[in-house]
Chains A and B, each alone.
Chain A
Amino acid sequence: MEKFNEIACEMFNLSPKEIKDSLTPKDVPDWDSMNYLLFISSLEKHFNVSFTMDEVLNAQSLGDVRFVLKAKWIT
């Protein structure tokens, strides 16, 4: 999940130390709806997986997104 953290840092303008699963849009100034969609699209491309619309809409935190990837056997 090192690459997951790297993509999250880049998209949300975070340092590696700031990354934690409990992060939500309220905690991250750069986590807006557009950046979030770009984040998902980048994850899909890098890990060669597809999210469903429900997965995108239901994820509330960074940990939720990570969980979706893990459910697709991305570790």
Chain B
Amino acid sequence: MKAKELKFEDSKKGDSAFFEVIVSESDVQNFAELSGDFNPLHNDEVYAKGTEFGKRIVHGMFLCSLVSRFVGMELPGKKALLMKEMLEFKKPAYIGDTLIVKGIVVHKSEATRILEILIEIRTKKELLASGSVHVRVLF
């Protein structure tokens, strides 16, 4: 997988990108291993069944990691340096969901080479998380 490469000089307000990903069982398992978060809400089907969600939900920070993928691979891609990420979780994501991660540039700072990008993570039916990132585009 090769990162796209948007040059800062070519970027502009309104630039956008998106990608889709299906969350798999192994994604949740691998994220638990990576983060050390083995909370039963993510890892124990029996426990999760007794909660208000009725089944296991995907780690919220897994969605944040998709934002990392978005800026590092899609917009602006190769030259990205993530400086700030704010994400609000509105609905849970479940294993098997197809997630659409999209972003649009809403501010470009010439002097600091920072792009502010609004982010949405959703399924085809509903918005799961939204927020923004500030990304510096390296020389």
Contacts from A to B (Cβ < 8 Å): 34, 37-38, 40-41, 44-45, 50-53, 55-56
Give the complex CA separation of A45 and B84 in angstroms: 15
- In the bound assembly, the distance between CA atoms of A34 and B134 in angstroms comes to 11
B111–A50 CB distance below 8 A: yes
- In the complex, are the beta carbons of A53 and B83 less than 8 A apart? no
Q: Are B107 and A55 in contact (CB under 8 A)?
A: no
Contact B116 A40 (CB under 8 A): no
- Given the complex of chains A and B, what is the CA–CA distance between A44 and B136 in angstroms? 15
What is B's interface to A at a CB cutoff of 8 Å? 83-84, 107, 109-112, 114, 116, 134, 136
Q: Classify the secondary structure of B's interface with A.
A: strand
Q: Chain A nearest CB: distance from B33 CB in Å?
A: 30
Give CA–CA (A73, B84) in the complex, Å.
Answer: 29
Contacts of B84 on A, CB cut-off 8 Å? 38
CA distance A56 to B83 in the complex (A): 17
